[in-house]
Amino acid sequence: MISRRSVLTTTTLAGTALIAAPAILRGVSSPAMAKAPIVGTQGPSFYRYKLGEFEIIALHEGEFTRPLDASFVRNAPLEAVQKTLADAFLPTDKLTISFTAVLVNTGSKLVLIDTGFNDNGGPTNGRTVAAMKAAGIEPSMVDTVILSHFHGDHLQGLRNKAGEIVYPNAEIMVPEAEWAFWMDDARMAAAPDAMKGAFQGVRRVLAPSAKDVKQFKWGQEIVTGITTVDASGHTPGHTAFVIASGNAKMMYVADTTNTPVLFATNPEWKVMFDMDADKAVATRKRILDMAAADKIRLAFYHASFPATGFIAKEGAGYRFVPAQWS
Ligand SMILES: [Zn+2]
């Protein structure tokens, strides 16, 4: 039997490894070199997938964890919500809501849909730019930023805390109905105090750029391959987007559901964030019915990363089927 040491000796004698030999011998005498620190966090996370000639890049903005209480779903008993979470192997005392923005590379344009918080949120979010950079794209390369609606988790990241636009070369496109609602001074004055902050947040981000912001209606192709769809209810101007390249088609549905674990499974449940909850339920069913019938791929802002997959009808609701990682 030839030992490792004798092999090394032979090599050394052959005169080819005289300098390396001492280091190699140290390696032999120390069998395990696998020690590494426990990190405990994720690095910047992105996921690319193909859509016809387009490339879609899911960008992990992060997440937010809140205690779960009876106020989260307005029209279901807390125990029913907890059972749905338990059935999905999730904690029942708190809820983690994920955020995933979508970057569409059409081959000639880079289009970001929704922006996350940037540095205006908390320690567990604000990572969209880092994810984008990890995917090889600088914010200055983004041609267009589209906002699905004006809730803070979708819009605040357009402008950092210092007040600078994060995507300096991008045109900004927003739903006309959303602009009309949130930029209405009389409506802000009449809003309950708890809601005034949301109005002020919208103005902080958009008012300095107001003259450059392009407003869109529903049913318009606003960028080649990206068409707006009325998904109102969650907010007055909440918009989904059909993204199409050749025969390939998908839909970014933003907050048509909050986490699909709860609201695809139970489409009639009314999350506390839906501003017109009845309309949001009707929109949810319309879009999820279409997705199930057409077998069209969806991207959700609040599904678990990379937040894309398909919808199957199941019982009185739907099942979200994550797309295979490839
Ligand atoms: Zn949202």
Q: Can you give the residue ranges of every domain in the chain?
A: 1-30, 46-322
| Sign of torsion over alpha carbons 179, 182, 184, 185 | negative
Cβ–Cβ < 8 Å for 257, 286:
no
pLDDT-derived band of residue 2, with 50, 70 and 90 as boundaries?
A: very low
Task: Give per-residue pLDDT as tens, 303-314.
Answer: 999 999 999 999
The pLDDT score that the predictor gives to residue 34 is 81
pLDDT band for position 29 (50/70/90)?
low
Given a cut of 60, whether residue 15 has pLDDT beyond it is no
Question: Where is mean pLDDT largest: 10-14, 192-196, 287-291?
Answer: 287-291
CA distances from 194 to 154, 202, 222 (A): 19, 14, 34
Nearest partner of 239 among 216, 210, 265, judged by Cα: 216
Q: How far is the CA of 99 from the centre of ligand 1 (A)?
A: 8
Strands 214-216 and 297-300: unpaired
Domain 46-322's class? alpha beta
For position 28, what pLDDT does the model report? 55
pLDDT of residue 31: 67
- The percentage of residues in the chain with a pLDDT greater than 70, rounded to a whole number, is 90
User: Separation of 154 CA from ligand 1 center, angstroms?
Assistant: 6
Among 32-46, 88-102, 148-162, 221-235, the range scoring the smallest mean pLDDT is 32-46
Centroid of ligand 1 to alpha carbon of 83 (angstroms): 23
What is the 16 CA–ligand 1 centroid distance (Å)?
Answer: 63
pTM: 0.89
Measure the CA–CA gap between 276 and 270, rounded to whole angstroms: 9
Q: How far is the CA of 27 from the centre of ligand 1 (A)?
A: 52
What's the average model confidence in pLDDT over 298-322? Answer: 97
Strand segments, DSSP code E, in 284-325 are 297-300, 308-314, 317-322
